[in-house]
Amino acid sequence: MELEIDVIDAFTDSVFKGNPAAVIITDSWLSDNMMQSIASENNLSETAFLVKYDNHSYDIRWFSPMTEIAFCGHATLASAFVLFGKNPEVRVIEFSAKAVGKLSVVKTKSGHIQMDFPNTKPEKVESIPNALKVGLSVSPSEVYRNDQAYFVVYPSESNVTEVICDNEILKKLAPYDVVVTSESSSENYDFSSRYFWPANGGDEDPVTGSIHTGLAPLWSDRLNKKDMVAYQASERGGVLHCTVKGDRVLISGTAVQYLKGRISV
């Protein structure tokens, strides 16, 4: 069986930056084992699988090299980029995913792809897990958590960029991942972050759309702003435009094509 595959760099306008994701569209679902094997072979942070169920509406599932992921922002952006490219007259695409329901994605006049996600604002943690204290070289003093991750808020952006993780220790926090964040020192961004997910996918994710559904409302309260620009300070780096609208968070970004091809499975 041959399948078409696209690899897209998401949350960037330059190849080799942002976060790469593979996108595979099929007429019906492959087996779970096959999708996991393809994702492991691709060895990207995520591979998105899409099945069309209505006009410009798709079911979507996301797989890391290790496991199926409940929610992935950058691979959703990559999927929309591929679909908009195939249907240039279309302005809105709808995805449906088991964990997050229906997701509306819009191609804006500015050229950004805007995704409409649930607000996953984290709650403050009073008792900080020991694995979080010893697994980060910069000890946390202010920590929050949602269903996805622990949020460590640092006083300085240098803490975010310089922190070193012991991922074997952070794995003990499973099923939760870890995001470190601070207000940005750059006039171009409002806040910055890095995301570590040894329990679910790898050491450090280049750019993570899903975690910004928690970061954006957290920083919205702290900065008293609804519209913010975020920078994920990984080695590849990525830029996310975030808007908090009640129980929804709009996350926008750009993407570029890296690869188009066929795989034989």
User: What residues are labeled active site?
Assistant: 46
CA 223 to CA 236: how far, in whole Å?
26
8 Å CB contact between 215 and 184: no
CA 107 to CA 182: how far, in whole Å?
30
φ, ψ of residue 220 to 5 degrees: the values are -60, -45
CA 244 to CA 213: how far, in whole Å?
9
Q: Is 188 exposed, middle or buried (0-12, 13-18, 19+ CB in 10 A)?
A: exposed
CA 190 to CA 179: how far, in whole Å?
16
- In terms of residues, how long is the chain? 265
Token pair recorded at residue 4: 């078409």
